[in-house]
């Protein structure tokens, strides 16, 4: 046991596996990087880091467990998050259709608001926070690896949180640079870009539908 953290190897392996699972956070960051470049991708990634940090603090303080005992609050957060993800997806589908049709104003319109491109940090932060299942995950996941008898549990949670953020940063960096590489290909192939944008829009609608059907477990 290290500073109140039990079974550190299992936690690291589990974190890597969880981070690699596709989700709205990673898809958003790759999408924004492919459209607006590396700097915008990292602004989005910072929004995710802040959102995850907030969720981890809520979990460590026990505040997130309120969702388990207040089903009405869970339902409000669930449907609000699902609606936001669906709205993002519909915006991307509209942008893809405009680009595919190649209207005169299409290029300009497609570069505007579908992912709130002017504010990638804010968009990523909202996407990260509007997911009550993520809060419940942090509660159940962290509790398993913190020794309840350790005198300084805040230190244990800080270590676990740092590990999660390092794994997330490495994965998101790979997605950002991969997205920037794809952007060069998309700029030369308008319809390929439109199809990719539409595909991401469909993914976000799917994420919203999955969240809307989530139940307390």
Per residue in 41-70, pLDDT (tens digit) is 899 999 999 998 998 888 777 765 666 666
Residue for token digits 């640079």?
Answer: 177
Residue 69 lies in a domain: yes
Q: Which range of residues forms the domain containing residue 123?
A: 8-212
Residue 127 lies in a domain: yes
Q: What does the pLDDT read at residue 106?
A: 44
Separation of alpha carbons 79 and 96, rounded Å: 26
Which stretch, 32-36, 126-130, 161-165, has highest mean pLDDT?
161-165
Low-confidence winner among 74-78, 133-137, 168-172, 201-205 (lowest mean pLDDT): 133-137
Query: Quick one: which of 152, 134, 118 has its CA closest to 48?
Result: 134
Q: Is the pLDDT of residue 188 over 70?
A: no
Residue 90 lies in a domain: yes
Question: Following CA atoms 45, 156, 131, 180 in sequence, which dihedral angle do they give, to the nearest 10 degrees?
Answer: 20
Residue 94 lies in a domain: yes
Residue 1 lies in a domain: no
The answer to whether 103 touches 184, Cβ cutoff 8 Å, is: no
Separation of alpha carbons 49 and 39, rounded Å: 15
Residue 50 lies in a domain: yes
Q: What does the pLDDT read at residue 10?
A: 82
Q: What does the pLDDT read at residue 14?
A: 80
Query: Quick one: which of 51, 14, 54, 48 has its CA closest to 141?
Result: 14
Task: Phi first, then psi: give them for residue 2, nearest 5 degrees.
Answer: -120, 110
Domain count, the chain: 1
| Percentage above 70 pLDDT, the chain | 63
Q: Is the pLDDT of residue 175 over 50?
A: yes
What is the mean pLDDT of the segment spanning 10-38? Answer: 81
Residue 30 lies in a domain: yes
Residue for token digits 């993800």?
Answer: 85
The answer to whether 190 touches 59, Cβ cutoff 8 Å, is: no
Q: What does the pLDDT read at residue 112?
A: 45
- Residue 54 has which token pair? 């907030």
- Residue 74 has which token pair? 């869970």
Separation of alpha carbons 92 and 199, rounded Å: 9
Residue 197 lies in a domain: yes
What is the mean pLDDT of the segment spanning 88-98? Answer: 73
């Amino acid at each position: 046991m290290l500073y109140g953290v039990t079974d550190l190897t299992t936690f690291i392996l589990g974190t890597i596996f969880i981070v690699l699972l596709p989700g709205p956070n990673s898809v958003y960051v790759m999408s924004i990087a492919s459209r607006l470049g590396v700097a915008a991708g990292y602004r989005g990634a910072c929004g995710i880091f802040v959102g995850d940090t907030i969720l981890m603090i809520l979990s460590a303080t026990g505040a997130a467990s309120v969702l388990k005992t207040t089903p009405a609050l869970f339902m409000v957060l669930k449907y609000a998050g699902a609606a936001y993800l669906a709205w993002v997806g519909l915006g991307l589908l509209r942008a893809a259709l405009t680009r595919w049709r190649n209207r005169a104003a299409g290029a300009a319109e497609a570069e505007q608001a579908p992912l709130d491109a002017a504010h990638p940090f804010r968009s990523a932060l909202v996407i990260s926070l509007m997911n009550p299942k993520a809060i419940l995950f942090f509660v159940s996941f962290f509790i398993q690896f913190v020794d309840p008898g350790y005198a300084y549990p805040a230190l244990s949670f800080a270590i676990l949180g740092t590990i999660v953020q390092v794994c997330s940063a490495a994965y998101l960096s790979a997605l950002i640079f991969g997205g920037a590489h794809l952007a060069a290909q998309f700029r030369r192939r308008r319809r390929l870009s439109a199809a990719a944008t539409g595909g991401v829009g469909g993914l976000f609608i799917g994420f919203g539908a999955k969240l809307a059907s989530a139940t307390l477990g």
